[in-house]
Amino acid sequence: MRKIRQVLRLHYESKLSRRQIAGSLGLSRDAVADYLTRAAAARIGWPIAEGVDDAELEQRLFPAATATKTGRKPEPDWAEIHQQLKRKDATLMVLHVEYLTEYPGGLGYSMFCLRHQEFMASLKRSMRQIHIAGEKVFVDYAGPTLPLTDRVSGFIRHVQIFVGVLGASCYTYAEGHLSQSLPNWIAAHVRMFAFFGSVPAAVVCDNLKSAVNKASRREPVVNATYQNLADHYGTVISPARPYKPKDKAKAENGVLIVERWILFRLRKRVFHSLAEINQAIAELLVDLNNRPFQKLPGCRREAFENLDRPAMNSLPASPYQYAEFHKARVGLDYHVEFDGCYYSVPYQYKKQEIELRITASTLEVLSRGRRVASHARQFGVAKVTVPEHMEAAHRHYGLWQPDQALAWAEQMGHHVRQFMAQLLIDTKTHEQGYRMHNTLKGLAKDYGEDRLNPACQRAIEIGATSVNNVRSILRNQLDRVLSTEEERQEANFEHDNVRGPRHYH
């Protein structure tokens, strides 16, 4: 009993591990574990209550075995033990302590583990793996399909069957798809989570193209859209290793059950729409999830309500919006092309590789995970340019309009506006008008704004139609010479020295 007291002191007071206690006291680790287990079952801690001598301590730790008719120690309900092990943080050692509390003279820990292994061996092969409640959902497509017959032509299409199975409770979801494409794959997950009313910690999938871009035993590359779905729901995508069906054995078994209890029962029915197929599957799903287990208590629905649902995360507040991701490179004109349309990006990102997030209504430009531009999605042939994305010089040119040139010319003077209006009438392109406007502004800066209006007046009088004529007038200071109208003087024919017309007749 002295060593038992030392074991309790070193465990509770010195916080030593069982290995350290065994080495310090010269005991085996199994003996130390047995002492601590018996003390926990007998509710004996440290320090030991006063008045408890070695005899009483021994009686409480090693009570006399209760005689039974069969001579066997009482055993727990192994099916219940199996279900309890699915809960988070559950271990056989903790369950053994609880068992000894109910049956003080029950099985030792080693025999308890051995009997549990024997029970596990009696279960189906696919159920030997322990699944924590709310931890994983296994998803896959069934091999067999359901025929979908066109009412008019009689053409038959084969409907793919999506299956999702929760690990701990085996609660099952299924629905039909026309194909295994990415939109169908994502939509099936959204409806599956809605069916569960909650989200598991991880999704275990096969390596189909809609889920995994690059299969790998260690570092698989998950499809960006699929990963975006996982981020929205706060779960993790965990692809199975290639050619390792045991990684998703629960899904394989769930597919087999769906084939037997749903697809086989629908084999004689003729369906003319996908909605009819999914309605029939939904009706049979209720029966499947309510069907009792063969060797475990309850059914899938009861196990889901008791195990998986309390441990799963709640659904996000906002619904998931389907989005596809594409890599692209920004052009020299700081625009990216998608589906025949061009969308602007801040000019700092020209020639850089970016990622496009496309939804039904928007297109977002992402650079290293940060959104740098967002546009309303366009269809057909279009070019969408945000002025703030352009360089200052390009923005000035791109936003320039003839009205701006006329407004500026009006401030310079009436003749400047008249000359500018005539120039804009003669121009054929946006670029020509922009250049003429900037040229006149440059002349006003070089020669003074007060000289530009007289120079334009002179150009109008002589019929000049080029900005170069205005520059020549300013350079030769002809704007300071009296105009032709001012220099011209009409002759006075009423004069004595001037002969009249009568003189010649």
Tallying the residues shown for the chain, one arrives at 505
Q: Is residue 174 part of a domain?
A: yes
Domain boundary among 366, 394, 422: 394
Among 255, 264, 274, 263, which Cα is nearest to 159's?
A: 274
Q: What is the dihedral of CA 128, 132, 133, 137, to 10 degrees?
A: -80
173 and 291 share one domain: yes
Report the half-sphere exposure of 6 (CA within 13 A, side-chain side): 12
| Tens digits of residue pLDDT in 231-265 | 999 999 988 888 777 777 777 888 888 988 899 88
Q: Is residue 116 part of a domain?
A: yes
229 and 153 share one domain: yes
Domain boundary among 283, 311, 339: 311
Q: Taking the alpha carbons of 131, 133, 135, 140 in that order, is the dihedral positive or negative?
A: positive
- Using a pLDDT cut of 70, give the percent of the chain over it: 89
Q: Is the pLDDT at 44 greater than 60, yes or no?
A: yes
Please tell me which of 314-318, 400-404, 469-473 the model is most confident about, judged by mean pLDDT: 314-318
Q: Is the pLDDT at 483 greater than 60, yes or no?
A: no
444 and 362 share one domain: no
91 and 207 share one domain: no
- The whole-number average pLDDT for the span 342-355 is 89
Q: Is residue 128 part of a domain?
A: no
115 and 248 share one domain: no
Report the chain's mean pLDDT, rounded to a whole number: 83
For residue 500, what is the DSSP state? -
| Structural domain boundaries, residue 158 | 136-311
* pLDDT class of 102 with cuts at 50, 70, 90: confident
Q: Is residue 417 part of a domain?
A: yes
Q: What is the pLDDT of residue 148?
A: 92
Residue 307 to residue 285: CA distance in whole angstroms: 19
* pLDDT class of 494 with cuts at 50, 70, 90: low
305 and 361 share one domain: no
9 and 71 share one domain: yes
Q: Cα 164 to the chain's mean position, in Å?
A: 20
247 and 303 share one domain: yes
Among 303, 186, 300, 282, which Cα is nearest to 233's?
A: 186
Residue 206 to residue 453: CA distance in whole angstroms: 78
Q: Is residue 474 part of a domain?
A: yes
3-state SS assignment for residue 170:
coil
- Using a pLDDT cut of 90, give the percent of the chain over it: 24
* pLDDT class of 68 with cuts at 50, 70, 90: very low
Is there a contact between 474 and 447 (Cβ–Cβ < 8 Å)?
Answer: yes
Fill in the amino acid letter for 62. Answer: F
Residue 419 to residue 491: CA distance in whole angstroms: 32
Q: Is residue 77 part of a domain?
A: yes
Q: Is the pLDDT at 396 greater than 70, yes or no?
A: no
29 and 155 share one domain: no
| Tens digits of residue pLDDT in 306-337 | 989 999 999 999 999 898 888 999 988 888 99
- Tell me how many domains the chain contains: 4
273 and 415 share one domain: no
Helix axes 2-12, 29-41, angle to 10 degrees: 80
* pLDDT class of 1 with cuts at 50, 70, 90: low
Residue 150's CATH number: 3.30.420.10
* pLDDT class of 428 with cuts at 50, 70, 90: low
- More confident of the two residues 343 and 246: 343
Among 139, 209, 213, 134, which Cα is nearest to 179's?
A: 209
Q: What is the pLDDT of residue 65?
A: 56
Q: What is the pLDDT of residue 314?
A: 93
Is there a contact between 127 and 167 (Cβ–Cβ < 8 Å)?
Answer: no
Q: Is residue 131 part of a domain?
A: no
Q: Is residue 130 part of a domain?
A: no
The two three-digit tokens of residue 168, written as one number: 């701990």
| Tens digits of residue pLDDT in 258-267 | 988 899 889 8
Tell me the DSSP string of 50-78.
TT--HHHHHHHHSPPPPP-SSSPPP---H
| Tens digits of residue pLDDT in 167-181 | 888 899 999 999 999
Residue 290 to residue 403: CA distance in whole angstroms: 76
217 and 247 share one domain: yes
Residues 6+ apart with CB under 8 A from 76: 95, 99, 103, 106
Domain boundary among 70, 100, 123: 123
* pLDDT class of 393 with cuts at 50, 70, 90: low
337 and 295 share one domain: no
Q: Is the pLDDT at 110 greater than 80, yes or no?
A: yes
Q: What is the pLDDT of residue 241?
A: 84
Q: What is the pLDDT of residue 160?
A: 93
Q: Is the pLDDT at 218 greater than 60, yes or no?
A: yes
